[in-house]
């Protein structure tokens, strides 16, 4: 069986070993406790746990295997986890009447990777994004819930779906832009290489310029994982990755997801 570690290049193996040697400094400089576990894996220099190698290689790959940059990134990320209280976020609760329709994890893809859905259209923006701190905590909790489903042995990435059904041009307002920019930055800085594929579905006819604008802030590696489709193009591209039985009906699969049913249709292009 092909394990994740067996796909490491020689350069990655050497870099992992160097980054491991930096772990005591990383722990000291970030301020986390000595026996700190990141996503349940001890950051121990002498550890032989393969899951540690898989976590470290994510930070290395995000920095093209530059060990000192990866060291800095991991240090900053651990500091952020302390400040953001990311390690206790799973115990927090959020008003379900606001958030149950904004996002959830549903089933997995053909490679057992969890699939996260974010429904960012047809929302009351003020209610969802108006309290930015609350939205961020909810969004990061969803990410951390997804990470709970990874074993860092056979599965170390997830699929994400952004559904823009029902968005209107006016709904891409300042609250939506600030929320999207802030989450995107937090994900880039603290969750490297967790994304396998990201589907943008029901993208409106005017979505192209939004995409180009946001793309300025994204790495080439991240952009390469994006699949952007309008309503008509959804089915084939998603079925290539997710089994019909696990794909919601609304995207052409057979799985019934109440949060996704009974939504209307998205903005139509203006008539000539």
Please report, as ranges, the residues that interact with ligand HEM according to CB under 6 A: 118, 120, 139, 162, 164, 167, 171-172, 176, 179-180, 183-184, 187, 198, 200, 203-204, 207, 210-211, 214, 218, 228
For residue 60, the minimal CB distance to ligand HEM (Å) is 20
CB atoms within 10 A of CB 186: 18
Closest CA to 92 of 150, 140, 148: 140
Three-state DSSP class for residue 251? helix
Smaller CB separation from ligand HEM, 42 or 196: 196
Smaller CB separation from ligand HEM, 20 or 139: 139
Smaller CB separation from ligand HEM, 55 or 167: 167
Residue 213 to residue 240: CA distance in whole angstroms: 28
For residue 6, the minimal CB distance to ligand HEM (Å) is 28
For residue 143, the minimal CB distance to ligand HEM (Å) is 8
For residue 162, the minimal CB distance to ligand HEM (Å) is 6
Kindly compute the dihedral angle of the four CA atoms of residues 245, 246, 251, 257, in this order, to the nearest 10 degrees.
110
Q: What are phi and psi of 150, to 5 degrees?
A: -95, 145
Dihedral sign of CA atoms 107, 109, 111, 113 in order: negative
Residue 114, beta-bridge partner list: 108
CB atoms within 10 A of CB 250: 20
Smaller CB separation from ligand HEM, 204 or 248: 204
Pairing of strands 226-228, 41-42: unpaired
Residue 67 to residue 14: CA distance in whole angstroms: 10
Kindly compute the dihedral angle of the four CA atoms of residues 60, 62, 63, 64, in this order, to the nearest 10 degrees.
80
Smaller CB separation from ligand HEM, 207 or 253: 207
For residue 157, the minimal CB distance to ligand HEM (Å) is 13
Smaller CB separation from ligand HEM, 69 or 180: 180
For residue 188, the minimal CB distance to ligand HEM (Å) is 7
């Amino acid at each position: 069986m092909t394990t994740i570690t067996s796909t490491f290049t020689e350069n990655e193996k050497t870099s992992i070993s160097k980054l491991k040697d930096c772990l005591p400094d990383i722990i000291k400089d970030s301020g986390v406790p000595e026996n700190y576990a990141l996503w349940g894996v001890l950051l121990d220099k002498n550890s032989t746990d393969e899951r540690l190698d898989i976590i470290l290689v994510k930070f290395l790959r995000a920095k093209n295997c530059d060990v000192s940059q990866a060291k800095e990134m991991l240090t900053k990320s651990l500091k952020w986890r302390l400040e953001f209280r990311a390690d206790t976020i799973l115990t927090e609760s959020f008003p379900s009447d606001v958030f149950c329709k904004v996002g959830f994890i549903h089933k997995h893809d053909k490679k057992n990777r969890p699939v996260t859905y974010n429904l960012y259209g047809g929302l009351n923006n003020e209610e969802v994004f108006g309290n930015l701190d609350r939205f961020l905590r909810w969004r990061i909790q969803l990410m951390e819930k997804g990470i709970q489903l990874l074993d860092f042995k056979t599965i170390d990435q997830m699929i994400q779906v952004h559904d823009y059904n029902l968005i209107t041009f006016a709904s891409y307002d300042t609250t939506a832009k600030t929320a999207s920019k802030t989450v995107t930055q937090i994900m880039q800085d603290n969750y490297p290489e967790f994304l396998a594929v990201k589907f943008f579905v029901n993208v409106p006819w005017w979505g192209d310029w939004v995409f180009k604008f946001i793309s300025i802030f994204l790495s080439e590696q991240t952009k390469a994982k994006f699949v952007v489709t309008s309503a008509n193009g959804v089915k084939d591209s998603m079925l290539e990755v997710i089994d019909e039985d696990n794909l919601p009906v609304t995207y052409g699969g057979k799985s019934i997801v109440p949060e996704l049913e009974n939504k209307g249709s998205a903005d139509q292009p203006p008539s000539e």
